[in-house]
Amino acid sequence: MSDIPASVAGRPELQALWHRHSFVELDARARAFSLLDEDTGQEYCDPFDRIESPWLEPQGLVPESDDGLVVVKGLLAGEPCVVIGIEGAFQGGSIGEVSGAKAACALQLAARDARTGQPISAVLLLETGGVRLQEGTLGLNAVAEILSALLELRGMGPVIGVVAGPLGSYGGMSIVAGLCTRVVLTHEGRLGFNGAQVIESEAGIAEFDSSDHALIWSVNGPAQRYATGLADAVVLDDVPAVRQAVITAVAAGVPEHHRSEELDVLAARLSPNDGGQARFSLPGLGIPVAPSPGQDSLAASHPGSAQQRRAES
């Protein structure tokens, strides 16, 4: 405790930040193992299986031994869970033929377990720019197969998306976030579909100035996503906090209706008001603060309230 500078010691709200064990600074493999119960994680198709992308060397790019995606199965709070972690540092966390096949297959194997009476949840660590453009139509199809596989499992076991940062979740893989049972963001996580640069080049700088970081965060950042019910929890970048939020999200079980099935709610938000302008109201963008930092996270993690927030906003 004598290591804490006086400026932090006198401010309890900073102590959680000071003492945190950063989740964001871990690579995908370490993140996956850190979420599961200690010593229960087992990686499949690991680096030594050397199942790489066949499409990168011909383009002068060096492959990664796991193609930028890890599959680790173990226990989460004592219950079977498979964590699928995307490595953001490799090719921008993009999904190629092999990484896509690993993810889709893991979700389908989990669905098979669930069908044969072995309940299992899945956690997807979304650190991704979407489809790996260097793998074109096979990357695109791989994402489609992941989406289909997720839906196979979702009715039988919770599928939790975690967007931690620094990359966040963008591109076709954000559709995964849209399909997930629940979504957990860290305070450094951004969740979007089209990146700022792509919008700027397609639609012009007035539509989206990609150099305007405040704009990016105000649109894709955790505050807006939580307030609009697109995320279920926002937590400190701290391994115990992320783990607890995931455990809570899994424990809340399989809902009767998923976010992506609530067409009435989604349609209502797009209805024009009397002036003919699309109505979109945003309740205050404050995030409720947990009573004691490090215990529960920066925001209360109440899965039911996401529905409420969406209906109200």
Partner 1 sequence: MQTLNLEYHAADRAARRAHVGVVGSGDLEILFEPGTDPTASVRVRTTVDGFDVVWRRVLDAFFAHHPVAGRYELNDFGATPGIVSLRLLQVQETSRKPAHPESNRI
Partner 2 sequence: MSRSQTWFDALSTQTLPSPYRSIAIADTDLGSGTPARLLAVVPDPDNEFPRARHGEVGLLEGIGLAHAIREVIELDSSLADDQRRSIVAVVDIPSQAYGRLEEQFGEHLYIAAAVDAYAAARVAGHPVIALVVGSAISGGFLAHGLQASQILALDDDKIEIQAIHKPAAARITLRTIAELDELAKIVTPLSFDVREWATLGYCDGLLKVSNPDQPTGADVSLASGALRDAVARARLGQRDLTNRLQSAQAQHARRASLQARRRLTEQWA
Q: Strand locations in 195-302, DSSP E? A: 233-235
User: For partner 2, which stretch binds (CB under 8 A), given 12-20, 197-205, 245-253, 301-309?
Assistant: 197-205
Question: Which amino acid does the sequence have at 304?
Answer: G
Taking the C-alpha atoms of residue 146 and residue 148, their distance in angstroms, rounded to an integer, is 5
User: For partner 2, which stretch binds (CB under 8 A), given 12-20, 28-36, 260-268, 296-304?
Assistant: 260-268
Site residues for partner 2, 35-74, by CB under 8 A, read 42, 44-45, 49, 51, 53-55, 58-59, 67, 71, 73
Site residues for partner 1, 68-127, by CB under 8 A, read 68, 87, 89-90
Beta partners for residue 161, in sequence order? 124, 183
The distance of closest approach from Cβ of residue 92 to partner 2 in the complex, given in angstroms and rounded to an integer, is 10
Site residues for partner 2, 1-40, by CB under 8 A, read none
**Is residue 252 a contact point for partner 1 (CB under 8 A)?**
no
Site string for partner 1, 39-78 (x = CB under 8 A): x-x-x--xxx-x------x--xxxxxx--x----------
For residue 259, the 8-state DSSP code is: G
Q: Which is nearer to partner 2, 157 or 192 (CB)?
A: 192
User: Token digits for 48?
Assistant: 């030594």
Nearest CA among 97, 70, 75, 99 for reference residue 85: 70
What's the Rg (C-alpha) of the chain?
20
Taking the C-alpha atoms of residue 248 and residue 76, their distance in angstroms, rounded to an integer, is 10
Taking the C-alpha atoms of residue 160 and residue 176, their distance in angstroms, rounded to an integer, is 10
Site residues for partner 2, 86-105, by CB under 8 A, read 97-98, 100-102, 105
Helix axes 97-115, 136-154, angle to 10 degrees: 20
DSSP-based helix, strand, coil % in the chain, nearest 5 = 40, 15, 45
Binding residue count for partner 1, defined by CB under 8 A: 24
Q: Which does 192 bind (CB under 5 to 8 A by kind): partner 1, partner 2, none?
A: partner 2
Name the residues that contact partner 1, by CB under 8 A. 25-27, 29-30, 33, 39, 41, 43, 46-48, 50, 57, 60-65, 68, 87, 89-90
